[in-house]
Amino acid sequence: MALSLKGKTILVTGGTGSFGSACVRRLLAGHDPAKVIVFSRDEWKQSELDARLGHDERLRCFLGDVRDRDRLQRAFAGVDVVVHAAALKQVPTLEYNPFEAVKTNIYGAQNVFDAAIDNGVERVVALSTDKASSPINLYGATKLVSDKLFVDANAYSARGETSFAVVRYGNVVNSRGSVIPLFRRLAADGVLPLTDERMTRFLITVEESVDFVLGRLLDMCGGELFVPKLPSVRIRDLAAAIAPEAEIRVVGIRPGEKLHEELVSTDDARRTRDARDFYVLEPESEWWHGHSWETEPLVPPDFRYTSDTNDRWLEGGELSEFVRRAEAEPLADHR
């Protein structure tokens, strides 16, 4: 059933990151909410966000960490809708600090869905990552667990008062620490590092990710994992588009890094429906009955959605335009 956000109280965890701040801005500007609550750990970023948004009287900044169950319970009181964007996500850092990822990305996820159910939140949409499909690093593994927690949280919401769904997408191109700002910064030295010349990635801009998450928040039933149809790029082509005169230096794949990214695995294909602009991965649970997606066709049984086998590629002028558009968006931490 489609949802209107007008007059709702909406909470965004990780609300000062690149996605979170863009989402908060869009909610205030385009959806006429009663209140938007930013839940994050950094008071300085909260004050900066508040100033950038003109000290909007509908904005509330709530200091806290998703690891803190009691703080979440307090923050979720009176909340109608939650967008869960808080996570630890830097792959090399989390390979070195594995249990910190577990505490935020897994225990934090449980705290979020418990607080949502206990406080009668209507809908929760949680952000995931392509690294959660067939994961090979700790970040992807923790997000896979998180995805499953949120999908099956629908079974814990016994009276059906709270619905949960997950959105999984690719690399956010202009978040801090991502490849475009990295290449821009290193271009002045005339050398760009490339881990492997064959490497490909799915790409999405911050604003596109906000569009997709809010769209699925409005039309979710509860239990779905949504995947947008995204373009792929060869990282070597991306480097050439950003700094065509720079030398490309192959440095080798980092620990936990994939050569190509995957958004839907072959094992998930049997429960994946093609909804034109995106895929819907249905849960394998007794409580799922198809809902409004049952009219959408299932993908072929051998289907696999990966960045190297994609039928949509960013190349030439389209790639240059994509980079220009991404660079025009605000740069911030992606959490």
What are 313's strand-pairing partners? 232
Q: Which residues are catalytic?
A: 131
In this prediction, residue 159 carries a pLDDT of 66
Q: What single-letter amino acid sits at 5?
A: L
Q: How confident is the prediction along the chain (335 residues), in pLDDT tens digits per residue? A: 567 999 999 999 999 998 999 999 999 999 999 999 999 999 999 999 999 999 999 999 999 999 999 999 999 999 999 999 999 998 888 999 999 999 999 999 999 999 999 999 999 999 999 999 999 999 999 999 999 999 999 998 866 689 999 999 988 876 666 777 788 888 878 888 888 999 999 999 899 999 999 999 999 999 999 999 999 999 999 998 888 888 899 999 888 889 999 999 999 999 999 999 999 999 988 888 767 798 999 999 999 999 999 999 999 889 988 887 776 765 544 33
In this prediction, residue 49 carries a pLDDT of 96
Angle between helices 316-327 and 179-187 (to 10 degrees): 90
Give which of 70, 75, 65, 76 is closest to 120, Cα–Cα: 76
Angle at 16 between CA 15 and CA 17, to 5 degrees: 95
Q: In this structure, what are the phi and psi dihedrals at residue 117, rounded to the nearest 5 degrees?
A: -65, -45
In this prediction, residue 187 carries a pLDDT of 81
Q: How far apart are CA 335 and CA 94, in angstroms?
A: 14
Q: Residue 190: how many CB atoms within 10 A of its CB?
A: 10
Q: What single-letter amino acid sits at 149?
A: L
Radius of gyration of the chain (CA): 19
In this prediction, residue 177 carries a pLDDT of 60
The architecture that CATH gives domain 9-327 is 3-Layer(aba) Sandwich (3.40)
Sign, Cα dihedral of 182, 134, 311, 294? negative
What are 61's strand-pairing partners? 38
Query: Helix count (H) and strand count (E) of the chain?
Result: 12, 16
What are the distances in angstroms from CA 188 to CA 177, 184, 197? 17, 8, 21
pTM above 0.85, yes or no: yes
- Residue 10, both tokens: 């909406």
Q: What single-letter amino acid sits at 282?
A: E
Query: Taking the domains of the chain in order of start, what are their residue ranges?
Result: 9-327
In this prediction, residue 182 carries a pLDDT of 80
